[in-house]
Amino acid sequence: MLPPPFVRRLVLTPLLFLLTLLLVAVFPVAYAVAFVLGRRRRRAARLLWFALAWGTRESVAVLECGWLWCRRRTRDDRHYDIIRRYVAGLYSVARRRLGLRMEIEGERETAPGTAAGDRPLIVLSRHAGPGDALLLVHHLLTDYRRRPRVVMKAELQLDPCIDIAANRLPNVFVSSGGGGIDGIARLAAGLGPRDALVIFPEGGNFSPERRRRAIRRLTRLRRADEAERASRMPNLMPPRPGGVLAALESAPSADVVFVAHIGLDRIATVADVWRHVPLGGPVHASWWRISAEDVPRGREARIDWLYTQWERADAWISANRAPAPK
C-alpha cells in the first residue's frame, strides 16, 4: 500500500533534491572515471549523463509545481507545459546520450482547427520496455499538441514529479490488482476536443511469463475464444477490455488510435539496459486511427474488435522486429 500523499511528498521530494545535489557534486569525478575506464561504448558515462539530466529536470519540474501551488493555481493547465518541458528535455538527452531514435509510421495527426483535429482521442498502446509511456506522452504533447489523460499504475506516485503534477491534472491511478473502471469512465466522459485518453490495455509491461499467466487467467474464466486468440499473439499480452469498454461507452464521439512499437521491448532488466546502451536501432512505432463512427456497438462486438486490432498490432511487430541476437 502506498503512503498517503502528505507522507510521500514530505519524504520523497526532499530525497529527490538531496540525491540530485549529490549527483551534481560527484558528477565531474564520476564522469571522468567512467569515461577513462569505461568500455568502448562508454555506457557508464552515458548513463551518468542521463541520470544527471533526469534528476535536475525532475527537480526543476517539482519546483515549478511548487511555484504554482504558492500562487494557488494547482488546477492550472500550465501543468501541461511543465510536463511537456520535462519529457521533451528527457527525450532530447536520451537522443544525444543514449542513442534514442524514433521512427513513426501510419496516419499522421490532423492539425488543430479542423474537424478531425478537434475530436477527442482514445489512445490504446502496447506497453513494453522502459520509457515507452514517456515517449508516447512526449509525442502527444509536443508533436500533436494534445492534452493526455493517462491511466497509470498507482506505484508511479512514488516519483515526486508524477505524484504532484499528474494528480493536479485529469489522470487515473489504478492499483496492481486492477480496478479503476469508474475512474476511467469519468475521465473519458470529460474529454475535450484536444484531449487524448491514454490506456495500456495489457495492464502492465509485457513479459513472456505475464503473457502466459494472462492466458491461463482467460482459461480459468472460461473465455476460451479469447484465450485461443491470445495464444496466437506471441508479442503481446491479451488486452483487458474493462477499461477500454468503459472509455468507449463514456466518450462515444472519440476516435480511437492504436499504437504498436518495437525497439524497447527486449529491454526488461537493469542488465538489459546496460547491454543495449547506446541503442543500436531506432524505436519504430506504427499507429492507426479509427473514427468513432466505425467503432462497433455492443460489448461482445467491441471485445471482438479490440482483439482484431490487437492481432493487427501483433502481426506488425512480427513483421518488423529484427531477430533476437544470439
In a domain, 175, yes or no: yes
pLDDT at 283 over 80: yes
Mean pLDDT value across the chain: 91
Span of 8-22, 27-41, 131-145, 183-197 with lowest mean pLDDT: 27-41
Total number of domains in the chain: 1
User: What is the distance between the alpha carbons of residues 94 and 90, in angstroms, rounded to a whole number?
Assistant: 6
Please, which pLDDT band fits residue 279 given cuts at 50, 70 and 90? confident
Q: Answer whether residue 279 is part of any domain.
A: yes
Q: Is 324 a residue whose pLDDT tops 70? A: no
The residue assigned the cell 509545481 is 65
Reported pTM: 0.92
Please report the pLDDT score of residue 326 as a whole number: 43
- List CB contacts of 224: < 8 A, sequence separation 6 or more: 218
CA distance 86 to 24: 18
Sheet holding 147-153, edge to edge: 102-106, 283-290, 255-262, 121-125, 195-199, 147-153, 172-174
Q: What is the DSSP letter of 141?
A: I
Residue 274 pLDDT more than 80? Answer: yes
326 falls within a domain = no
197 confidence band (pLDDT: 50, 70, 90)? very high
The answer for residues whose C-beta is within 8 angstroms of residue 220's C-beta and 6 or more apart is: none
- The residues near 159 (Cβ < 8 Å, ≥ 6 apart) are 58
User: Which regions of 83-171 does DSSP assign to beta strands (E)?
Assistant: 102-106, 121-125, 147-153
CATH of the domain at 219: 3.40.1130
pLDDT score of 300 more than 80: yes
User: Residue 162: inside a domain, yes or no?
Assistant: yes
Classify residue 89: in a domain, yes or no. yes
Residue 199 in domain: yes
What is the distance between the alpha carbons of residues 240 and 27, in angstroms, rounded to a whole number?
44
> Structural domain of residue 55, as residue ranges?
5-320
Answer whether 167's CB lies under 8 Å from 92's CB: no
The Cα 317–Cα 184 span in angstroms is 28
Contact, 146 vs 195, CB < 8 A?
yes
Query: In the predicted model, what is the mean pLDDT of residues 141-146?
Result: 92
Residue 125 near residue 132 (C-beta atoms within 8 A): yes
User: Which residues, in sequence order, are bridge partners of residue 151?
Assistant: 172
Phi, psi of 267 (to 5 degrees): -110, 95
- The answer to the question of residue 325 being in a domain is no
CB atoms inside a 10 Å sphere around CB 74: 13
Q: How far is CA 293 from CA 52, 54, 63, 251, 302, in A?
A: 47, 42, 44, 12, 13
Residue 81 lies in a domain: yes
Contacts 24+ apart (CB under 8 A), 306-311: 306/124, 306/201, 306/239, 306/241, 306/244, 307/226, 307/229, 307/238, 307/239, 309/124, 309/258, 310/201, 310/233, 310/236, 310/238, 310/239, 311/229, 311/232, 311/233
Residue 271: what pLDDT?
85
147: three-class secondary structure by DSSP = strand
| pLDDT at residue 325 is higher than 70 | no
